[in-house]
């Protein structure tokens, strides 16, 4: 049973990392967005493996679904799917890959050289912990205040989005023209 879990985890982890790397290096923005969908979906499976069905569903419905559709819309509307013909900073990609490999190797070395980590068997999470009911309970008791504070955050973001995209009203445009002609 444990082996099967490890095999599934390994395969998924590989898919996720490869898709994430492809998302960054893809030259077509639509391809990037589609690779991001792969990353999001495999994350959803990870959540399922951690006994968190609610988060897994939210991950699929919100991130892989709604948000990615918006991404694709914006990319296609702006016609931004094709990046420029030539790479402006061609040296960046190899450098980034090299540095990443270096950091991963250093991390692995450090981990191997420090005191051996104890493998602790955590008590298996109760299946009830990740349900919508349990999350609702938690949100409205212990996490009530941050939950409410997030609504302020979203309000601010909403007002900000309106401010940033507002059109000049006709009156303002007329005033502007009058000022210029004076």
Choice from 7, 18, 69, 142 touching another protein (CB under 8 A) = 142
Look at phi and psi of residue 52 and say left if phi exceeds 0, alpha if psi is from -120 to 50, else beta: beta
According to the binding rule CB under 8 A, does residue 162 interact with another protein?
yes
- Within a 13 Å sphere around the CA of 103, how many CA atoms are in the beta-carbon half? 6
Query: 116 is written with which tokens?
Result: 């051996």
Residue 150 to residue 148: CA distance in whole angstroms: 5
Q: How far is the CB of 140 from another protein (least distance, A)?
A: 10
Stretch that binds another protein, among 25-33, 55-63, 68-76, 159-167 (CB under 8 A): 159-167
Whichever of 86 and 178 has its CB closer to another protein, that residue is 178
Question: Interface residues for another protein in 112-141 (CB under 8 A)?
Answer: 114-115, 141
Residue 75 to residue 29: CA distance in whole angstroms: 7
Residue 116 to residue 42: CA distance in whole angstroms: 30
Q: Residue count at the site for another protein (CB under 8 A)?
A: 23
Choice from 2, 90, 110, 182 touching another protein (CB under 8 A) = 110
Q: How far is the CB of 176 from another protein (least distance, A)?
A: 9
């Amino acid at each position: 049973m444990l082996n099967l879990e490890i095999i599934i985890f390994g395969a998924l982890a590989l898919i996720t990392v490869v898709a994430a790397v492809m998302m960054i290096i893809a030259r077509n923005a639509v391809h990037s967005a589609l690779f991001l969908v792969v990353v999001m979906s495999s994350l959803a499976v990870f959540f399922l493996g951690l006994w968190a069905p609610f988060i897994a569903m939210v991950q699929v419905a919100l991130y892989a679904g709604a948000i990615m559709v918006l991404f694709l819309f914006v990319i296609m509307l702006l016609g931004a799917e094709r990046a420029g013909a030539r790479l402006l900073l061609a040296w960046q990609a190899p450098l980034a890959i090299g540095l990443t490999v270096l950091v991963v190797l250093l991390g692995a070395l450090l981990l191997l050289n420090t005191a051996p980590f104890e493998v602790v068997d955590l008590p298996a999470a109760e299946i009830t912990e990740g349900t919508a009911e349990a999350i609702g309970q938690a949100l409205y008791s212990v996490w009530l205040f941050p939950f409410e504070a997030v609504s302020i955050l979203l309000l601010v973001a909403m007002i900000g989005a309106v401010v940033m995209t507002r059109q000049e009203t006709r009156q303002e445009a007329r005033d502007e023209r009058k000022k210029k002609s004076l």
